[in-house]
Structure 1
Amino acid sequence: MTIRRNDFKRSPLSVALLATLMVSASGAVLAQDATQANEQDEFQSTTSAEDTTTLDKVQVTGSRIKRAEIEGPAPITVITRQDLEREGHVTVFDALETLTQNSTNVQGEMFAGGFTPNASVINLRGIGPGYTLFLLNGRRMAEYPQPYNSQSNFVNVAAIPSAMVERIEVLAGGASAIYGSDAVAGVVNVVLRENMEGDAVRLLAGTTTMGGGDTGHIQWTGGRSGDRWSVVYAFEHLEREPIYGTQRDFIDSVFDNPGNPNPSPALALVALNLLNFGPGAPIPPGHAAYYPGEEVCDRFGYRTFNSPTRGLVCGPDNDAALQTIRNKSSNTSAYGYGTFDLDNGDQLWASAFGWDSEAISSGGTEWWGNTIDVHSGLFYEPSLGTIVQLQRIFRPEEYGGLDAVASEYSERATELAAGYRGTFGERFDWDVTLAQSRYKYENDRPRLLARSVHDLFLTRVDGAVDPFFGAYPVFNMNFDAWHTPLTPEQYRSMSTRVVNRGESKATTASFTVSGDLFEMPAGPLGFAGVLEWASQEYDLNADPRILPSYPTTAPDKPLNLTGTGGGGERDRYAVGLELSIPIVNTLRATVAGRYDKYDDITEVDGASTWQAGLEWRPVDRLLVRANYGTSFRSPDMHYVFAEQSGSFSGILDEYACRSAGRTYSQCAANALTSESYSAFGVRQGNPGLKEETGKSWTAGFVLDLIEGMSMSVDYYSIELEDQVGDISNAYILQQEADCRLGVKRDGSPSDFDINSSFCQEMLGRISRTDAPGTPNDQRVSQIVRGPINRAFREVEGIDATFRYRTTTDRWGSFDTQLAYSHILSSETQERFDTPRVNWRDHMQNFEHRSRVRGAVTWSYNDWTTTLFGLRYGSIPNWAETSRLQPFITYNMNVGKQITNDLKVTLLVNNVLNNTHIVDESHTSWPYFNYWGGQSPIGREVFIQMDYRFR
């Protein structure tokens, strides 16, 4: 079978854009005028000091002081709603995902079997999703109730529809002195529309060229105003059909595996023959498999494979591809904002926002492989005369189709806010705001019942043990059932619905004041102050049957499914002060300080943060800037309040390995069954966590080179200490071995005595019991994990931007924008007692060391076209032996202004249909690294119509 390769090949189109990108080693979206008119279809570039004196003062993310200058001491990236259209972004997440400061190493819809497959996550600087503060009109949003990777909290970016967006401001650096906790890696502030006259409708329809993913999108926005009032409203509905892996012919079969010319299927209808291997003894990879025969294999629609290690086996070649690679979704949202001017010049305002989502994702298949009342799942089958271990994969036809086993998500996000603002003393603006944001979540999925499946296939012979070792129980297999596919009716009678629910809430009351305190020789002394009270709470209710405390043999216990619950609340009080100090005409300093007081059960009492910045303008066209600040992050709610959850996972018993005289490297390279097996892991929250602390600084310049041409270059550094994270199973097992043996892996003495508190903690996290029939075997039966303040993280690099706009008499106008980010250094430290690791160049780090985004827009009469490109730097191959080539995608659109009120646009995303870089060492589905920006979605084509009612 020919394997489809989607390696990037240089075409005339790609060469043209690459040449443009090489004009500068920089790029990004430059900061823009926050008061830009709604109809203006252009980026606002960095302007000279002479130009900015004519601008009204506005508040920009990163400061509460209103200012006329667009650029300040810290670099800000701004994406306008026009950019969403020009660059082909259907959603807000589509746009944020392309930021050069953002890491693509996050879980999303491709992780159909994960904890948050219906959420969209932003991860600035690669530090982690929860380290970016996400704001809506400067206010905190309620967090996603379901924790990321079952651990930490984050904001679901998918809940922000694009219809209501005026602009998105991104500060990629620490800002805790302004905003408090979580502003460690950066701040994303989505600014919604507050001014509009008339109505506008946008209709978009499209699909993928490789199948699936039909999209329909409608937006209606409008506004009205009177002498003393104004109102803005928006409505949006987005429909997306699902895409399954089976709809992509380069990942729909095990035969697409580029590194394995003789692939084996997922084992199904299998009874592994373990007769020749005693309890706890090594089982080599060539142990025999029971084969039910070709007729039975055909009955299930499986294929017969002649495995070089197991002989004839029966199984599917596409079970992994049955999952969704993009969810089916139906999202509806509405937004309203209104103001009323009082007689004294003050103003009342209020806003309301609601988002409702119904979505479906599918993991594709269910499987069964263990008896529920026998440790390790091994038993003796008399008719086979051997010790066996079963595995059965259930096919979609047995359920009644993939939709029958899909996970259904029902989610709703709302925010209500109101305020009263005005001025006093002719120099100060003030605002009192009260806001509450909520998020509700429900996940409903069918699941087979473990007891029902077990009893269908097996009948226990009470009191009997195997004749070989006298250790294993005896079960008779029901071969008729084993060889017969389930019917959909059987599936429904043997299954249940597992429902998980969650809700989170964030309430904030704040008073802010800003203005000029007094005149200094070089100008006014700017001032801003804030008083804030906030309450945060969440409640996550998992189906009790999937929690570790529920009996495994209960008749209503779902098969192969675990979950987590939790809930808690905290209050926070804060006071902050910010000053903008003109030192001389060309030099200005900013200083800010904030104190946050926490009222919860953690070790966090209060946190003080500060920052200082400098802006030097030696000439009108040059700004030299620097900014330094401290940051902190209170522990995630779920890190603190998570209830006990558990799951089985594979481990390498390092103590058993090293105590037998082998080195860890030998065991890891050739793991034997006696040392590699499955153990139960338990996780729960830790109320004793303290805050994470960090520091961040930037330094760089902004330069207007010539009329219409500008650039910026900024160095950044972010450092984080006491980062909260779970201790891994591998770390606990390594420390247990070091403590019990008294030496490390390299033979040097252990850092801790076995009687030390550290060793006692590590030993207390592990439970060992004997396997059946093997006295003194002492296998690991349970490992207790959980979050602790353990890690150190540091990243530094360069951000750069370039922009050139020009208008010609004959050829129209051209606008070129470029953005570039490059990681210079990245270090991690697992714990205080472990060495720091160069993570930037580590062969297990799949984060891109560099990213480039660029757009070229050409406007001529009624025509406008944009070519947008995104280049991801190299990442290691899966085998960790070399690096793969960079990955590049392009979007393109062409628009025609038919009348003054009607515009039609053709959009093509991923023009070259570039899905991934072939990695012959990546032998597991989907056979490429989809953590690294690569995606099997492929080319999408849309037609869009915009009509404005006057």
Structure 2
Amino acid sequence: MESLLGATALMGTLLLVPAVASAQTAPAATDANQEPTAVGETESAEEGQDAITVTGSRIRGRFTGADPVTTITRDDATAAGYSTTTDLLQSNAVTNGTAQINNAYGGFVTAGGPGANTLSLRGLGTSRTLILLNGRRMAPSGSRGAVGSADLNSLPNAMVERVEILNAGSSSIYGSDAIAGVVNVITRKGINGIELNAETTSPQVGAGVQKRVALMFGTKGERFSVDGSLEYYKRDGLTLGDRDFTRCSTGQRLNGTGGGMGSGDFIDPATGKPKCYGLANGTGDNGVTVNTIGLPTVKGNMVALGAGVPAGYTGDCNRFRPNPAVTTGAYPGYECVGGGTISLDVRDTFPKSILNNSLISGTENYNAYASAAYKLEALGDAEVYGEFLATRRNSSQTSNRQLSLDYNQGSLLLPAALRNLNFGNCAVASFPTCIAGTPIAARAFIDFGNYTNTQTSDFVKAGGGIRGNLPANFRYDAYASKSWSDSSYTTPVVLTDRLAQSLDVVASGSGFACRNTTGGCVAAPALSASVIGGTLPSDWRNYIAPEVTGTTKFRETTFAFNVDGPLFKLPGGDAQIAVGFEHRTQSIDDTPPNDSQRGNLLNTTSATATRGNDSVNEVYGELELPILRDTFVHDLTLTGSARYTDYRSYGSNTTWKVGGAFAPTKWLMFRGSYGTSFRAPQLFEQYLGATSGFQNAANDICGNLTTASNPNRVRNCAADGIGLGFTQNAGITVLQRGGAESGLTSETSTNLNLGGVLTPRFGDVQTSFSVDYYDLTVNNGVAQLGYATIMAQCYDSVEFRALAVCGLVKRNGTALQITTGYVNISKSYLQGLDYNARVSFPLAGGKMTLNGQVSHFLRRHSQQLPTDPIVDLIGKIINNSNAFPRFTGTFDATYAIDKFSVHYSAEWTDSTDTNAYYGAGPTYNFSTPDYWLHTISATYRTDQVRFTLGVRNLFDTEPPVTSSGAYNRVGSAPLYAGFDYVGRQFFASTAVRF
């Protein structure tokens, strides 16, 4: 209730008011014959056809409709300090505060691969958001097997005139994917000269600088026009060591008795301060063990005890840290730091190389764009037109790696005192480099240091067509395009066979040599305190961890034909119709590195090739009926659309939508629509190559059962030969695959939108207020069953092996293997309200404009299985793909006088509380307070020059901290796109027209 009151107050004052402006209708067309406009503006007619086509319809000349369309202009984005269209589209003004895959996700597995930026409207996922460029689909691009969405890095930043966002299902208009909505990026036309543009954004911390330079050009004659741009953009990486809040990730626990955040943290005996960990990604505070060696278990009274181990400890010890001062006991030179009841916190878990890891990944992008049109003065005064876009993205992310180095029993690389120990059986899968029949004597947990993933992604789209007039004021448009996406991804990965080969040595002079020298083998280093500490020979590192490269190719071809025009007269005007046909083909070919395909990557997911193709034929129609106009009501218009779709892969589908707008007066309008949408399974969801990975052994559902455990689980585990008290020692093998073999079909949805717009005018004061309600349900959703869900459904069921899901679970003795895949199971429900307000009025010889936009989520839940409980996600941060603050808002105020303007904006993310969801006890806090970001800028503009200076995150607001142990975090803050990890940033932008 307090949040709702706060939102109401903000909307009422509108004096602190969004980072971008918002409107409910598209701007009117500009006269193509007017005088040159100020720099950065354009002098365009809509594609040379003298009529606007608003996003959400294929009927020309529409300025209002049944669904709200938010427009964000180029000037809005510049004043808000957005260097790229990517930054703009991932802002709260577009995303309503939902989680996005942005530049902070470089170390995570994401669709499109590292370095790709995608958009998810309403938080329903990137595959349910359609991106258009000038009304045409942007094809997917990126790297690795899960390419299925447009990479926002491919958009031509310098040429963007405005962005139109339709937050409503529109599959009957645009086809598959338009479930949550449509974003249409519209480029500039009529530049008529040369324009240079340069922008820079410099974070206060001195790292992560962004630079962009662009050359725009254009010319036109009586029958032709040409516009284009060449652009270069670079963002330097920002590391964990560059920001205070990421230099030391702590548990942020409470002490259970009223103490604040961090009061319950473990105090590191080495520093006397709360212990720093690696990124706590939902697995707790243990981080990654380094500078430690695993040896056979002995009792604590037989060895030296390290700092932090309870004095007099006599329990088990099996993890040790080098300490040359130790000269007695079972293991001279080592002190006990783990085993038995010793806390994992005692071990070393924060190597300094972590500070070099990417917080914001770096990228270097090149972009070329051109559009042209030529009037034939034939074929119905036809115009031939074309468009070309080419981009290259060179991106990289730095991470660090732990190396588990296993020394076999009897190895010459071990000190004599350790050679005959037995730490583990070679038959256990967790020792991949052991020599068959020879036990492991010792395992060293080493900080292997940093490595860098790199990607090169090339995207090209070429299209064109012909459009002209037909009899009876009809118009036609025939179009064809081809898109190519070619990417390569490279990473240095430890190869299992090379590591094993390097560990099998013989004496050679004063050192050691590989027993098998094939491939130029380099012998592993002898175990020592320096090796355990991460000091490793560079030639050996390079030998066992060479760079491996995979490639991804995605192709899309489109043919489309559209006819629109008037049918007959109605009291409100001409009834309009648009009908058309579209054919589209897609193919994907992802070829992982050969070592990945044969499972030769140490402790890293393996993958086979993802290859497949699909095609679709569609016919559609749209109708607009202006029933009344300027009679006893101002306007009454009804709309309808339908589309028949036939995919080669799964068959056909029909979608439809009806809507209308009713304006009893010029200043009041009611609008609404109801329709169906669908999403065809993407190629990677159908054809994803078999991918293998591992989960922690402790997650085996049959582990550590007692007589008090679920009786179905006890019985079913026993049927698989697993008795009470069993402890799993081997990791769980998880295989992933596409859904084509299991008959994956499309998902469907229904979308209801109701709203009203109030636009009274009081003298020179112009106002606009709108409220829109939406209600969206996705049925038969495409989802990937998690391994934990499969285990629970199988082992907790009465039917057990009679269930189909149990066919995905296999046991080889006690070893567990689970196969996951894409299936049609999930259901999603979303309900909310959008509030928008705009006021402009003269002030002191200038003009003041105030904007406010608030999004209010009312309800959001998903069910992966019909038996899953319904849990409302509103007001919670669950993980990187489920973040739904109850309220988000953007507010701005702009004052313009003569050639100057000043802009102030604020972005608001409501507080969240996920404590009840995770059952947090007195030592955890999974809540965040209200979060505000402020921006201020000033602009000077003439017909030839525009110059903008400003500051983003004016008050250097850091993300809020939460306890670890529930979801992914960055430092001690949740991983969530709504928080700013960069800090205060100074930006400047200039444009010069010649």
2:648: which partner in 1?
599
CA contact (8 A) 2:695 2:733 kept: yes
Aligned pairs for 1:11-50 within 5 A: 20=14, 28-33=22-27, 35-36=29-30, 39=37
CA contact (8 A) 2:171 2:677 kept: yes
Q: 2:131 aligns with which of 97, 113, 134?
A: 134
Q: Structure 2: how far apart are the matches of 1:564 and 1:865? A: 55
2:613: which partner in 1?
569
Q: Structure 2: how far apart are the matches of 1:491 and 1:477? A: 10
Which TM-score applies when normalising by structure 2? 0.79
Q: 2:733 aligns with which of 658, 673, 680?
A: 680
Q: 1:784 aligns with which of 809, 819, 822?
A: 819
- For residue 802 of structure 1, what is the amino acid of its counterpart? A
Aligned pairs for 1:837-848 within 5 A: 837-840=871-874, 844=878, 846-848=883-885
- The reply on whether 1:691 has 2:746 as its aligned counterpart is yes
Q: Mind listing any 5+ residue stretches in structure 2 that lack a counterpart? A: 1-8, 43-48, 253-260, 268-274, 278-287, 300-313, 327-333, 409-425, 507-523, 630-634, 715-723, 921-925
Map Cα deviations across residues 533-588 of structure 1 (whole Å, 9 max, x no partner).
111111111112113xx255xxxx55634345311111111111111012233311
2:708: which partner in 1?
661
Aligned pairs for 1:497-516 within 5 A: 497-516=547-566
Q: 1:652 aligns with which of 677, 684, 699?
A: 699
2:958: which partner in 1?
915
Greater Cα shift, 414-423 or 262-271: 262-271
Greater Cα shift, 26-35 or 579-588: 26-35
Deviation of the 1:108 alpha carbon: 3.4
- The reply on whether 1:375 has 2:428 as its aligned counterpart is yes
Which TM-score applies when normalising by structure 1? 0.83
- For residue 118 of structure 1, what is the amino acid of its counterpart? G
Q: Secondary structure at the match of 2:148?
A: coil
CA contact (8 A) 2:169 2:179 kept: yes
2:355: which partner in 1?
321
Q: 1:98/1:870 Cα in 2 relative to 1: closer, same or farther (>3 Å)?
A: same
- For residue 615 of structure 2, what is the amino acid of its counterpart? D
Deviation of the 1:142 alpha carbon: 1.9
Q: Structure 2: how far apart are the matches of 1:232 and 1:295? A: 74
- The reply on whether 1:804 has 2:862 as its aligned counterpart is no
Map Cα deviations across residues 388-431 of structure 1 (whole Å, 9 max, x no partner).
773523344xxxxx5xx211111111111111111112511111
- The reply on whether 1:874 has 2:911 as its aligned counterpart is yes
Q: Structure 2: how far apart are the matches of 1:165 and 1:142? A: 18
CA contact (8 A) 1:29 1:817 kept: no
Q: Structure 2: how far apart are the matches of 1:925 and 1:853? A: 24
- For residue 886 of structure 1, what is the amino acid of its counterpart? D
Aligned pairs for 1:271-420 within 5 A: 271-273=293-295, 275=297, 287-293=317-323, 309=343, 313-314=347-348, 316-344=350-378, 345-368=381-404, 374-377=427-430, 390-396=443-449, 402=450, 405-420=451-466
Deviation of the 1:681 alpha carbon: 0.4
Deviation of the 1:763 alpha carbon: 2.2
Q: Structure 1: how far apart are the matches of 2:580 and 2:325? A: 75
Aligned pairs for 1:895-934 within 5 A: 895-897=939-941, 900-921=943-964, 925-934=970-979
Map Cα deviations across residues 861-905 of structure 1 (whole Å, 9 max, x no partner).
3321111211112223576645321211112211224x6422322
CA contact (8 A) 2:599 2:606 kept: no
- RMSD over aligned Cα atoms: 3.6
2:934: which partner in 1?
890
Deviation of the 1:92 alpha carbon: 0.8
1:821: which partner in 2?
855
- The reply on whether 1:479 has 2:527 as its aligned counterpart is yes
Map Cα deviations across residues 791-848 of structure 1 (whole Å, 9 max, x no partner).
110101001110011123x252111111111111112212134343333356735322
- For residue 817 of structure 1, what is the amino acid of its counterpart? N
Deviation of the 1:679 alpha carbon: 0.6
CA contact (8 A) 1:176 1:183 kept: yes
Q: 1:242 aligns with which of 237, 242, 248?
A: 237
Q: Structure 1: how far apart are the matches of 2:12 and 2:79? A: 19
Q: Structure 2: how far apart are the matches of 1:389 and 1:660? A: 36
Deviation of the 1:518 alpha carbon: 1.4
- For residue 161 of structure 1, what is the amino acid of its counterpart? P
Map Cα deviations across residues 649-703 of structure 1 (whole Å, 9 max, x no partner).
1252224455653359999xxx998158621100111211011011101001111
Greater Cα shift, 129-138 or 829-838: 829-838
Q: Secondary structure at the match of 2:883?
A: coil
Q: Structure 2: how far apart are the matches of 1:658 and 1:685? A: 33
- For residue 703 of structure 1, what is the amino acid of its counterpart? L
- For residue 799 of structure 1, what is the amino acid of its counterpart? D
Q: 1:587/1:677 Cα in 2 relative to 1: closer, same or farther (>3 Å)?
A: farther
- The reply on whether 1:125 has 2:125 as its aligned counterpart is no
Q: Structure 2: how far apart are the matches of 1:711 and 1:945? A: 33
Greater Cα shift, 330-339 or 843-852: 843-852
- The reply on whether 1:713 has 2:763 as its aligned counterpart is no
CA contact (8 A) 2:249 2:972 kept: no
Q: Structure 2: how far apart are the matches of 1:817 and 1:722? A: 39
Q: 1:490/1:340 Cα in 2 relative to 1: closer, same or farther (>3 Å)?
A: same
Q: Structure 2: how far apart are the matches of 1:564 and 1:874? A: 43
CA contact (8 A) 2:26 2:54 kept: no
Q: Secondary structure at the match of 2:118?
A: coil
Map Cα deviations across residues 163-211 of structure 1 (whole Å, 9 max, x no partner).
1112111111110111111111111111122322222111123321113
CA contact (8 A) 1:110 1:117 kept: no
- For residue 321 of structure 2, what is the amino acid of its counterpart? Y
Deviation of the 1:23 alpha carbon: 8.2
Q: Mind listing any 5+ residue stretches in structure 1 that lack a counterpart? A: 1-14, 45-54, 278-283, 297-302, 397-401, 461-475, 743-752, 771-777
Q: 2:148 aligns with which of 129, 139, 153?
A: 153
Q: Structure 2: how far apart are the matches of 1:351 and 1:295? A: 72
Q: 1:535/1:522 Cα in 2 relative to 1: closer, same or farther (>3 Å)?
A: same
Q: Secondary structure at the match of 2:77?
A: helix
- For residue 368 of structure 1, what is the amino acid of its counterpart? S
Q: Structure 2: how far apart are the matches of 1:642 and 1:98? A: 31
CA contact (8 A) 2:37 2:943 kept: no
CA contact (8 A) 2:291 2:447 kept: no
Deviation of the 1:617 alpha carbon: 0.9
Q: 1:109 aligns with which of 103, 106, 110?
A: 103
Deviation of the 1:294 alpha carbon: 6.3
Q: 1:268/1:754 Cα in 2 relative to 1: closer, same or farther (>3 Å)?
A: closer
CA contact (8 A) 2:320 2:337 kept: no
Deviation of the 1:43 alpha carbon: 12
Q: Structure 1: how far apart are the matches of 2:538 and 2:801? A: 58
CA contact (8 A) 1:709 1:803 kept: yes
Deviation of the 1:647 alpha carbon: 0.5
CA contact (8 A) 1:371 1:454 kept: no
Greater Cα shift, 794-803 or 844-853: 844-853
- For residue 794 of structure 2, what is the amino acid of its counterpart? E
- For residue 527 of structure 2, what is the amino acid of its counterpart? F
Aligned pairs for 1:56-95 within 5 A: 57-68=51-62, 70-95=63-88
Q: Secondary structure at the match of 1:763?
A: helix
CA contact (8 A) 1:359 1:410 kept: yes
Deviation of the 1:253 alpha carbon: 2.7
CA contact (8 A) 2:16 2:906 kept: no
Q: Secondary structure at the match of 2:366?
A: strand
Identity of aligned residues (%): 22
- The reply on whether 1:176 has 2:171 as its aligned counterpart is yes
Greater Cα shift, 366-375 or 334-343: 366-375
